[in-house]
Amino acid sequence: MKFLYQARTKEGRIQSGTIEASSRKATLDILEKYGLQVTSLTAEAGSIWQKKIVLSKKISLRDITVFTRQLSVMLKSAVAPVEALRAQMIQTENPNFKEKILKIAETVESGNPLSRAFSFFPEVFDSFYISCLRSGEASGKVADSLNYLADHLEREFHLQQKIRGAMIYPIFVIVVLIGVIFLAAFFIVPNLSEVLKNFGTKLPLSTRAIISFSDFIKEGGWILIFVILGAIFITPFLFKRSKEGKKSWDKFSLKLPILGEFYKKVSLTRFSENLSVLISAGLPITSALEITKSIIGNDVYEKIVAETGERVARGETISSVFLRYPEVIPAFVTQMISTGEKTGRLEDTLMDVVNFYKAEIDRTINNLTSILEPILLLVLGIGVGIMVISLFLPLFSIGLGGMEGM
């Protein structure tokens, strides 16, 4: 929050201004640190709406990525951690994130290590992030650890953007199709149906069906349709949020045609990249596997990695455990890991796996988009075509009949 202050300098001059801090005490500490004797301090008034907006502002993966990259650069340039954090607080646009960075800076300034200060915000910085920081602190290479984290977050961010981008076009076409149907049902069909009924001729089945559907929509049926559509889209999300539902979905998703291979590649990419970053940051393999297990996002692979961690602790290799699961872990991955274990360059071979699968994922997304585009356009065209033909065919028939009567 912001505070309005008035203070006296060592030379006796009056100075006033605004400062942002987490509490009144923190503000006094900051001002006293700069040699100012505070004579007045009041919290800056803000509307209830502003406070609600600040509290509800979500911290995105992009926010965390930019913050991590910039903090890494500043620490590598020998800027003190507290000063680097305060500089990041000023540059950050997200007010919610700004408040958290300020609290982290205050915690570090009071003598705590960075990893402890960051660990107070697990909703923003997960166990993976904190573990990398702790490893960097233990080895004296915090800037390098943050650099590994920034690289990892950028790759994760680009992967998410790629997947979301591939979903935009299909969703757009579906929304357009639904919009066309509802516009026709509310405005076009009612006018044409009155004209057709006045002719007194028997209408084709498809035309009668569309008119009945239009009447149903106008009489409140649109509410039922939206409820059904909402249930179709929301139910899978609710199902996956339950523990058993997620387990069932994770197992089922890997067996889906085409998409199953895509999900495998995404999970293996996350496993390989997370493990590589943690090993590069200096964590022992058993600790790295334990942390990686919780962030893969698929229950099938989480169980395999958990078993791998237990067996590695007893002296086995990662590749020897992976050999037991050829149905979900391709021989390519197992062989690459085996090579890395033999040469002592496991983190490098894991990144080779990541780069290979990233290219595969990009190709899969591009191919799926290329296939879906014409299919969706065809569905949209067929839907609109059926509606147009059903509505205007009776008019053509009536028109032809009139011409024959002449």
Task: Measure the CA angle with vertex 404, ends 402 and 406; round to 5°.
Answer: 75
The total of other beta-carbon atoms located within 10 Å of residue 338's CB is 18
What's the pLDDT score for residue 56? Answer: 45
Please provide the size of the chain in residues. 406
Kindly report whether the global pTM for this prediction surpasses the value 0.85.
Answer: no
What's the pLDDT score for residue 305? Answer: 93
Q: Return all residues near 321 (Cβ < 8 A) that are at least 6 apart.
A: 304, 307, 308, 311, 312
In whole angstroms, give the CA distance from residue 5 to residue 39: 8
Task: Measure the CA angle with vertex 123, ends 153 and 109; round to 5°.
Answer: 90
Structure tokens at 340: 């890395």
What's the pLDDT score for residue 52? Answer: 44
In whole angstroms, give the CA distance from residue 309 to residue 316: 9
Distances 44 to 4, 41, 48, 382 between C-alpha atoms, Å: 6, 9, 13, 60
* DSSP-assigned letter for residue 92: -
User: What is 2-45's CATH topology?
Assistant: Ubiquitin-like (UB roll) (3.10.20)
Q: What is the pLDDT of residues 69-118, one digit of tens each?
A: 999 999 988 888 888 898 888 788 888 888 889 889 888 988 889 989 99
What's the pLDDT score for residue 392? Answer: 74
User: What is 58-154's CATH topology?
Assistant: Receptor-associated Protein (1.20.81)
pLDDT tens digit at each of 406 positions of the chain? 677 777 777 776 777 777 766 667 777 777 776 677 776 777 765 544 444 444 446 888 889 999 999 999 999 888 888 888 988 887 888 888 888 898 898 889 888 899 899 999 988 888 888 888 888 888 788 888 888 888 888 888 887 887 777 778 778 878 887 888 788 778 877 777 777 666 666 777 777 888 888 888 878 777 887 888 788 778 877 777 778 888 888 888 888 887 888 889 989 988 998 898 888 878 889 988 988 887 788 899 999 999 999 999 999 999 999 999 999 999 999 999 999 999 999 999 999 998 998 888 888 888 877 777 788 788 878 877 877 777 777 766 665 554 444 4
In whole angstroms, give the CA distance from residue 279 to residue 134: 13
In whole angstroms, give the CA distance from residue 390 to residue 261: 42
For the chain, give every residue range classified as CATH 1.20.81.30: 58-154
In whole angstroms, give the CA distance from residue 118 to residue 170: 39
Query: Is 24 in contact with 36 (CB distance < 8 Å)?
Result: no
Count Cα atoms within 13 angstroms, Cβ side, for 5: 24
What's the pLDDT score for residue 155? Answer: 82
The total of other beta-carbon atoms located within 10 Å of residue 335's CB is 15
Helix 346-405 to helix 259-280 angle (10° resolution) is 150
Residue 200 dihedral angles phi and psi, to the nearest 5°: 75, 10
What's the pLDDT score for residue 197? Answer: 67
What's the pLDDT score for residue 55? Answer: 45
In whole angstroms, give the CA distance from residue 231 to residue 250: 21
The total of other beta-carbon atoms located within 10 Å of residue 241's CB is 9
Structure tokens at 277: 């970053």
For the chain, give every residue range classified as CATH 3.10.20: 2-45
Residue 169 dihedral angles phi and psi, to the nearest 5°: -65, -50
